[in-house]
Amino acid sequence: MTSPAPETLTRRQLLAGSAALGAAALSSRSRPALADTSAAGLSLGARAAAKGLLFGASFATQELDKPYGAAYAETYKREARMLTSEAEFKLYTLRPDAEKLNFRPADRLLAFARENGHVLHGHTLIWNDAVPGWIKDLAPDDVKLLLDMHIRTILGRYGAEIPTWDIVNEPIAPWDKLPGNLRNGPFYAAYGADYIATSYRLAREVAPAARLYLNEAQTESADDNGEVFRKSFLELLKRLKGEGVPVDGVGFESHLDSKRRYDFPRFAAFVEEIAAMGFEIAISELDINDHAWPADQKTRDRLVAGMYKNFLSAVLPVKAVKRLTLWQIADHSSWMYYDDLAKNPKGSRRPRPLPFDSAFKRKPAWDAIAEALDVMPAR
């Protein structure tokens, strides 16, 4: 017997892994009620829920293993009603190599959410960025096979229990200079622009009850970059809508930055325009990079709180916004904090982008978010 060509082998191995491990769909269970109050008043989650808004943050299961893991868990139990997976559903976590599927982190996240009554948001199945290195060795036909199999496997296993999903993440990247300002990467290279429509159509077929979101960054700022992102994203959404592609919702990441210019009412008008096209809306990854503000901690905390307040008081009146998600909840678990730690191991000025500090104490940003939730109109 001749041995199969490497390409065939890869296909078979991928398929074998998929069929064996993906078959066991996870069953739903009833969710316990969450406590509504903290000692000093209503949590952010409870304040949002009172207005019909789902509030939460991204959650990284590996943070549970840190010395502060218990306090991390407690903060999410108290403050958040929903969790977005941080890396648990990313391709490099689920498929560390071509032959293996690793469901452990995702299953752990699901167990935490079930135990504590959190709604989960799945992030993200198909992204041309942050892919595992081995994908770069696949032939275009095998990338197509992978996309198909990945969506079938992951939504086959988790699609009935997790109600909303980012199917495609960050489709726009003007710097790649492709038609429509689409982002380049293995899925684009294999399908062209059709990787997006193909992914949503398949996701709808595999998980008909799931709400399918398209998530995008950098649409918020009042500068050329924000303008290009808004224009390109709007064109893409119009095209998908026109082609009947089943995208139900749009996530605006809202990683805000102290060095950028903003006109939040103008951004809110853009959100309103997208909502008027019939999309559900989420603010999906909100945080504030404070690097351009003074080192003095009190001053920085005040400025961060001010930006939360300005952003939320412009955006939350848009009633189509049904979910508000922060990217992490406490400063030291933020991607910015980890980046800074790697770049400046001895640095003394760490980013403070979130409503809780590294001791899980509330910061002025917490009050700003609470206030914006309290005054926003009910959904």
Residues of the shown chain interacting with ligand GLA in the complex, contacts defined by CB under 6 A: 169, 217, 253, 255, 285, 327, 335
Q: Smallest distance from the beta carbon of 166 to ligand GLA, in angstroms?
A: 8
The whole-angstrom separation of Cα 26 and Cα 362 is: 36
Q: Which is nearer to ligand GLA, 18 or 218 (CB)?
A: 218
Q: Which is nearer to ligand GLA, 76 or 335 (CB)?
A: 335
**Helix, strand, coil share of the chain (percent; to 5):** 45, 20, 35
Residue whose beta carbon is closest to ligand GLA: 335
The whole-angstrom separation of Cα 316 and Cα 281 is: 11
Q: Smallest distance from the beta carbon of 169 to ligand GLA, in angstroms?
A: 5
Q: Smallest distance from the beta carbon of 371 to ligand GLA, in angstroms?
A: 26
- The phi, psi pair for 182, rounded to 5°, reads -75, 150
Q: Smallest distance from the beta carbon of 124 to ligand GLA, in angstroms?
A: 6
Q: Smallest distance from the beta carbon of 234 to ligand GLA, in angstroms?
A: 19
Ramachandran area for residue 125 (φ above 0: left; ψ -120 to 50: alpha; else beta): alpha
Residue type, 377: P
- Read off the DSSP letter of residue 262: B
Residue type, 121: H
Q: Which is nearer to ligand GLA, 79 or 287 (CB)?
A: 287
Q: How many CB atoms lie within 10 A of CB 47?
A: 21
- The phi, psi pair for 343, rounded to 5°, reads -80, -40
Q: Which is nearer to ligand GLA, 143 or 168 (CB)?
A: 168
Q: Smallest distance from the beta carbon of 217 to ligand GLA, in angstroms?
A: 5
Q: Smallest distance from the beta carbon of 315 to ligand GLA, in angstroms?
A: 17
Give the tokens for residue 10: 């890869």
Q: Which is nearer to ligand GLA, 253 or 257 (CB)?
A: 253
- CA dist 362 to 38, 78, 113, 295, Å? 12, 13, 23, 19
Q: Which is nearer to ligand GLA, 151 or 217 (CB)?
A: 217
Q: Which is nearer to ligand GLA, 183 or 300 (CB)?
A: 183
Q: Smallest distance from the beta carbon of 167 to ligand GLA, in angstroms?
A: 13
Which is nearest to 376 in space by CA: 303, 326, 322, 302? 322
DSSP string across 134-163: GGGGS-HHHHHHHHHHHHHHHHHHHTTT--
The whole-angstrom separation of Cα 229 and Cα 14 is: 35
Q: Which is nearer to ligand GLA, 264 or 338 (CB)?
A: 338
- The phi, psi pair for 230, rounded to 5°, reads -60, -45
